[in-house]
Homo-oligomer: A and B are copies of this chain.
Amino acid sequence: MSVTINDNYLLLQDSYLFVDIARRLENFQNENPDKNVIKMGIGDVTKPLSKTVIKAFKDAVDEMSDFNSFRGYGPEQGYSFLVEAIIKNDFKPSGINIDTDEVFISDGAKCDTGNIQEIFGLDNKVCVTDPIYPVYVDTNVMAGRGGSITNNGTYSSIVYMSCTQENNFIPELPKEPVDLIYLCFPNNPTGTTLNKDQLSKFVEFAKENNSIILFDAAYESFIRENDVPHSIYEIDGAKEVAIEFRSFSKTAGFTGTRCAYTIVPKELYGLSSNGEKISVNELWNRRQTTKFNGVSYPVQKAAEATFSIEGKKEIKENIDYYMENAKIIRNSLSNLGLNIYGGVNSPYIWVKTPNNMKSWDFFDLLLNEANIVGTAGSGFGLSGEGYLRLTAFNTLENTKEAMDRMSKIKL
């Protein structure tokens, strides 16, 4: 006998997008140590935590220094002060009713979108948009829902909804019944959105096919247009078919602080093999209480402060700042004659490469000629080929400088 490994891991693609980027960047900087490279690749925030958040964070650390206010293990689902602040601020104002036991605080939307598939059967058909944030596919492949790798790098058992300029990056409904549908809007990487009508079609589809939508709303705070839903629960009946993932990462600059949450409505059911209806909310609760021990108390207090009047104001200023960058990128690249998408309700700008260049060729061109790092669209999937993602998470000065450099290269 011998320990066997989870063979599904061997089906994962070897190279990881951001590792590739880091390698190419390192090579370039070794050969050009004097060049000032502007990084618009990884989707990470740059603005510090806001004043009000910092104060709450430190006050909570102080509580941990005193016997009477010290906190040990907290509820695995998160403290009620944060759960209630979330319901009151993120859902109530849109008329959405969420119960406290439908909110699960976690240390990241990456974890939650990665772990959620555990509570479902291996026979579920998974459906994703293409291009896509790689975690949704990889975690399903690890569990055994991928099937085999095809020649073009896609997985045989996964249904892909292609999003390109031909369909304006609006995925068409799957042509076959599917079970678990991952949607991320505002989208990473394309920066595009679904309006209420477009999202409603997916909710209807899910109802008709008894599917569950896994809705990643990590970028909702960047939405500027009125007709774009911040939550899938703005669509009537969505609580019967959708789980929603939210995060403080991009909203409040928590990428290094770690706090997120997931809504698992009590209306959601899945079938056991003997046909019994089982509450998905109860399954997720069992998963979280068994495998997770809650988010750091001071971090939850910091997250709560994002909902204070001052906190909201400060955070809005940060997001406005990023969105001003996005506007500058949009305008500059449009003026250069490039086809660009996103950046209106999202910190991501999805750039069609000029002259049908391959994604990585355009990446290299920008790195070598303008010393700008983007993200090759092909790294997000087959339909990402021929695109490049730029992010607005830089300083205004760097963003302007980057656009200035791009205007000087021959595209």
A: residues with CB less than 8 A from B are 1-7, 9-10, 12, 16, 42, 44-49, 51, 54, 57-58, 61-62, 64-67, 70-74, 107-108, 110-111, 114-115, 118-125, 134-135, 138-139, 142, 177-180, 209-212, 253, 255-258, 270-273, 278, 280, 283, 286-287, 289-299
Contact = CB atoms under 8 A, between A and B. Distances in A.
5 contacts: A1-B209, A2-B270, A3-B180, A4-B179, A72-B253
Contacts of A45: 72
Contacts of A278: 5, 9-10
A128 to B, nearest CB: 15
B44 A54 contact: no
Contacts of A292: 108, 110-111, 114
A119 B46 contact: no
Contact of A1 (B114, B177, B291): B177
B5 A293 contact: no
Q: Chain A's interface: helix, strand, loop or mixed, by majority?
A: loop
A156 to B, nearest CB: 18
A110 B280 contact: no
- Which of A12, A62, A296: most chain B Cβ within 10 A? A296
A291 B258 contact: no
A6 B118 contact: yes
A4 B270 contact: yes
A3 B65 contact: no
Contact of A9 (B119, B295, B298): B119
A286 B256 CA distance: 20
A9 B120 contact: no
Contacts of A291: 110-111, 114-115, 135, 139
Contacts of A5: 119-121, 270-272, 278, 280, 283
Contacts of A54: 61-62, 64-65
A179 B2 contact: yes
A142 B118 contact: yes
Contacts of A179: 1-4
